[in-house]
Structure 1
Amino acid sequence: MNRTRKILTLALALAGAAACLPATAQDTDKPPARQALRVCQDPNNLPFSNVEGAGIENRIADVFGKALGLPVQYYSFPQRLAFIRNTLRYKLPGQDYPCDIVMGVPVGYDQVSATKPYYRSTYALVFPQGQGLDQVKSGDDFLKLDPTRLGKLRIGIYDRSPASDWLKLHRLVDQGVPYPIMNADPQQYPGEIIEKDLAAGKIDAAIVWGPIAGYFAQRVKSPRLTVVPLKSEPGVRFDYEMAMGVRYGEREWKQKIEALIDSQQAAIQAILKDYGVPLVDESFAYKAPMK
């Protein structure tokens, strides 16, 4: 999974997956007794995780650790290519795995044994208030802006993401300001597009993964920012369900994590709300019309 920054997009996750060997073990083996909740994390990936434990996934891990009666320990590795291979599936002869769970993966991500989902979010449009876009309440509203106004906007996006596909679909490629998905600088983080460039007026709007949009829009105090969740449409998927990932072959551990997802759902939802994550339901998923 492309742990460059947790899930800027499903494309980010799948980019990392391409570098990992497929796992084929069956979920049948009993895991060893747990002495700690050992979490694989990116050390600089807010709003999801960081070494200070200030991310969404750190908070949820704390909840799970308390419920299990276990201390929480982290194994940190930058979420670049081969994150899963270098964390969850990293094992030297005679040594144990360094961590046992990834707190956020897209449902269907095949490099891990993914749990049931614990939230659904979507990409979101973020823009400053009071600069001519306040009437925009949806993606359709944005597309219906006066063509002259729309043609002058600078829209920040991560390249090879659903946002870039959306601009292409609606003939707005020239308005896009692309940012690279991969960045070798370990201090770079995905929210810079909002917290630095959008806030400074270098771009007029940004389209990013919902948790990133909500969290960094809260952090920017001036100008005030609006977050508009975007619905999936034919040719562009914006919404994704997020799960947790464990190793293949650890069926009982996976069942225990799924039980925690159920029993701690109220706490999970409170954390997501606290971080400004735009939570959406299945109405945001595109459904082809019945023939």
Structure 2
Amino acid sequence: MLIIMKTRLLLLLTIFSVNSVLADDHLADTKYFKVCADPYMLPMSNQNGEGYENKIAELFAEKLGLELKYEFFPQRIGFIRNTLRAESEIAKGYKCDIVMNVPSSFELAATTEPYYTTSYALVFAKGGKLDSVTDPSMLLDAAKASKEKVKIGLTDVGAAQLWVFYNGLMSYITPYQGQPGDPKANPAKTLIDDIVAGKIDATVVMGQSAGYWAKQYKDKTELVVLPIKDDPEKKIRLSYSFSMAVRYREKAWKETIDKLITQNQAEIEKILVDYNIPLIK
């Protein structure tokens, strides 16, 4: 009887030990660092690994000693459902385990601590109708003073619309689609392409796209990038913090990513600065 009791106790302890290891496991996958990403949306990410999300993912995979693997899907409606929450059809677990860049207020997944903050920015070409503008608040006066009508390209989504409205600029707007039917289309790049081509004079886009594309076009056109500050009086928020995202209830995995962010903040910031993203400290 004593031997049987000892055997059962040993079995229970073994089961408890195994479950404890599984519960404390800080990795979502023991072989791959599986990233959910957009295949076409620079400067964030693309299939060729050219975005800042790609570079930070490479850094984290190296730190964790895991092989980097992507699940690509256009980052629009259905992105989280088809990536982070989608079970893999060819292996155990999910198709991917982390999104490298979401607003910190994102509600469809658990977000890490923010790792950078940027804002919307006014972008225009130097040498054009808006050379007198050194601050976004000067845009209306410059537009009124111009002999030729100033065209400001603006998408139909986002806080930039509010800023334009409250600053009396609606009559200067040339509308663009914020989410075109073609998933390969990059709305911010389209706007900046049209500034370079002379089709419009200015636009307001998020700082990631403003800074990155200004750098890409520096040998062709000098683009002025002026970050826009929040306006508490008019209740217009134009600066946003960004985090990474994992599935809800995966506390240990989220803590691991938070530690990686903290321990590698200098390297992350170096990547963001290299992509010319205007950061708010």
Same fold flag (TM > 0.5): yes
Identity across the alignment (%): 41
Contact 2:28-2:97 within 8 A present in 1 as well: no
2:177–2:187 CA contact under 8 A, matched in 1:
no
**Partner SS, residue 131 of structure 1:** coil
Shift of 1:182: 1.5
**Which sections of structure 1, spanning at least 5 residues, go unmatched?**
1-27, 282-291
1:117 to 1:150, Cα distance in 2 relative to 1, 3 A: farther
- Contact kept? 2:40, 2:74, Cα under 8 Å: yes
Residue 80 of structure 2: SS of its match in structure 1?
coil
Residue 212 of structure 2 aligns to a residue whose secondary structure is helix
Distance 1:148 1:215, change over 3 A: same
For structure 2, the 5+ residue unaligned runs are 1-23
Aligned-partner Cα distance in 2 for 1:250–1:133: 50
1:154 counterpart (151, 156, 168): 151
- The 2-side partners of 1:67 and 1:29 are apart by 16
1:32 to 1:242, Cα distance in 2 relative to 1, 3 A? closer
Cα deviation digits, residues 146-198 of structure 1 (max 9, x gap): 62329821111111211111111122112111211121113211333344211
TM-score by length of 2: 0.85
Aligned ranges 1:95-110 → 2 under 5 Å: 95-110=92-107
Runs of 4+ aligned structure 1 residues displaced above 3 Å come to: 28-33, 92-95
Paired position in structure 2 for 1:43: 39
The yes-or-no answer on 1:202 pairing with 2:199 is yes
Q: What TM-score comes out, normalization by structure 1 length?
A: 0.82
Give the length in aligned residue pairs.
255
Q: Whole-Å Cα distance in 2 between the matches of residues 52 and 224 of structure 1? A: 26
The partner residue of 1:57 within 26, 31, 53 is 53
Q: Could you tell me whether the CA contact under 8 Å between 2:101 and 2:244 is conserved in 1?
A: yes
Instruction: Quickly say closer, same or farther: Cα 1:238–1:150, change in 2 above 3 A.
Output: farther
2:121 alignment partner, one of 113, 124, 132? 124
Aligned partner of residue 47 in structure 1, secondary structure: coil
Query: What do the CA deviations read for 1:219-272 (whole angstroms, capped 9, x no partner)?
Result: 113221110000111232110000000000110110110111011111111110
1:79 aligns to 2:110 (yes or no): no
Deviations 1:78-131 (A, max 9, x none): 112111111101126884210000000111211010000000000001101111
